[in-house]
Structure 1
Amino acid sequence: MSVKTNKQLRQFGLVVGVGLAVVASISWYRGHTTVPYVLWSGAALLLLFGLVYPPALRPVEKGWMKFGYVLGWINTRIILTLLFALVVTPIGAVARLFRDPLDRSVDDGKATYWLPKKVAPVRPEVYERQF
């Protein structure tokens, strides 16, 4: 993690402070009594330090980023597991059931099982710009 500038810390304080204030307002609107005041207090502190003295937010931002990395690691495993289980596995199972990608069929009448290679003309431009 790189060292954050005062501008980045100020942006962090303002964005997270406003986000907490919005979440607190929604919680208050739904009728909760204690949670909105705790969130509003946190939002006020973040906004205050973000506007007045951004370097004070450095440990908060560092902890927030570590928390984000942990959540990202967990979410990646969950999403990739679901993708594999719900998309890749059924496609592989259907492909194995209904086709033979290696052409393993036995034909006694064939003289050879070799397949002729499709020859394409080679152009030097293809090697000059590979990507």
Structure 2
Amino acid sequence: MNLVLDSGGVTALAGQRARLAELRRRNLWPPQIPSVVLTEVLTGDHRRDHAANRLIAMCQVRDVTELQARDGARLRTATGRAGTISATDAIVAAFAAASVPAVVLTSDPDDLHALLDAQPGDVIVAHV
């Protein structure tokens, strides 16, 4: 099972040793982070980003391919809510759908469910 983090997942796990140990115990380690998520989660200030950067260093940051970006656009449009669902969430959904079986750890489960509802595959959306 692949663990995929969106920005809410990174923020929730940063500095949480007990939660990280639990993910390791459940064989959900290392998490994968689509690179575009870094834009949402980081500020560019190393002092403010310290906890997130420590977590990111333990994860697999993955480049987003053109195909994944196009799949994200398709998923976002299919929701009928393209104006309110972020492009980053759409790319996270497309990335997870291409990495099945997968668990997406998010602070925005409603948008991720909307994006993945029409997508076949074994993706679990978990709220942090």
Q: TM-score range by the shorter chain?
A: under 0.3
Say which structure, 1 or 2, has more relative contact order (CA 8 Å, 6+ apart).
2
Structure number having the greater helix percentage: 1
TM superposition score normalised by structure 2: 0.21
Structure number having the greater strand percentage: 2
Determine which structure has more spread, i.e. the larger CA radius of gyration.
1
TM superposition score normalised by structure 1: 0.20
